[in-house]
Amino acid sequence: MKTSSGYWTGVVMVIAAAACYGIMSPVLKLAYGHDYTFQQITVHQVGMGAALLWVLLLLRPSSWSKLAFSLKHWAALAFTGIFGLSMTTVLYNQTLERLDASFSIVLLFQFMWITILLESLRGRKWPTKWQWAAIVMAMAGTVLAAGLLQNKLTDMDWAGVGYGLASAFSYSLFLFLAGRVAPGYDPVFKSALMMSFGFIVILVLYGYKAFDGVDRQWGLLEWGFALGLLGQVMPTVFFNAGIPRVGSGLASMLGATELPFAVVSAWLILGEPITLIGTAGILLILGGIVVAEYGARLRRQAA
């Protein structure tokens, strides 16, 4: 059976989105190293992301004829933008404030088994044997990748761990909904709406601290631009355009390339070590995603 060019375009888009997210983690740690606070970075990151998306939309007048208002679709996009995109940013930024970039990304990657559970709840059936195997592999890989066998649990920043797991849930919610809400909308328009609704909430929560004690406002804007581009604009557009082409199952597997991208980037940019046990854990997590997608493919073929 011949695969369409649109399918392979979707594959490239999802991998590119994952790469952007992976590189963003160490870049965000660098921003924290310049003494900017979580609130300052988050407000500028999401705000710049929303602004860049609207600029991108204005530069594509051919898509304006497809823009339409639908209360149902806009409400769904608002929900996805607030509880999927923006909450992932808020929670993950707090994780990176407390933990290493490589450990933070491992916690975020618990989205894999959470997405499986969401799919099971939606279908009102227990996970298959393949999915259970994937969950076990992900759990074992997390223990290894996080270094829990070498480090004392009492030394762990449990607040950071909690934020990381919460970010995994909100991220899985985004992946679960992105390909389902407003499927006929232009991807850039969808992304702009999602980001704008999320930015309104973030502005209400943290706007009053966005400029506290900032000596170089331009420096903060520069970090906001870089993080908004890597963490908000490019991955959101690529995911919204790519996930409908390949499906949420394969998108979850392709999105797993974010993990090695993040670990290698943290090594190159921040000098965080890559250990043999940690690498084995990462391979287990990636293997779990492959097993889950393989089981899903067998079910589709049987159907």
pLDDT of 303 reads 65
Condensed to tens digits (0 to 9), the pLDDT of residues 89-112 reads: 899 999 988 888 888 888 888 887
Q: What is the DSSP letter of 147?
A: T
pLDDT at 158: 86
Tokens of 184: 């006929």
* pTM check: above 0.85: no
Q: What is the b/e burial string over 55-64, where b = at least 16 CB atoms within 10 angstroms of the residue's CB? A: ebbeeeeeee
CA distance 183 to 16: 21
Nearest in space to 121 (alpha carbons), one of 168, 85, 173: 173
- Could you tell me if 24 and 211 are in contact, meaning their C-beta atoms sit under 8 angstroms apart? no
Collect all residues with Cβ–Cβ distance below 8 Å to 131 and sequence separation of at least 6.
116, 120, 292, 295
Please name which of 277, 232, 212 lies closest in space to residue 84, comparing C-alpha atoms.
232
pLDDT of residue 163: 95
How far, in Å, CA of 244 to CA of 257, rounded?
A: 18
Helices marked H in 99-233: 101-108, 111-123, 129-145, 158-178, 187-206, 217-228
Cα–Cα distance for residue pair 58/62, rounded to 1 Å:
9
Q: How far is 249 from 294, CA to CA, in rounded Å?
A: 10
> Residue 302, Cα to own-chain centre: how many angstroms?
31
Give DSSP secondary structure letters for 73-122: HHHHHHHIIIIIIIHHHHHHHHHHHHS-HHHHHHHHTTHHHHHHHHHHHH
Which residue ranges of the chain lie beneath pLDDT 70?
A: 1-5, 65-66, 146-155, 213-217, 248-249, 252, 300, 303
> 253 near 290, Cβ under 8 Å?
yes
User: Are 138 and 113 in contact, with CB atoms under 8 Å apart?
Assistant: yes
Cα–Cα nearest to 18, from 108, 98, 145, 93:
108
103: which residues sit within 8 A by CB, 6+ positions away? 145, 146, 147, 164
For position 196, what pLDDT does the model report?
92
Domain ranges of the chain: 5-302
At 170 the pLDDT is: 92
Q: Which residues contact 158 (CB under 8 A, 6 or more apart)?
A: none
53-to-45, 56, 81, 106, 241 alpha-carbon distances in Å:
12, 5, 13, 28, 14
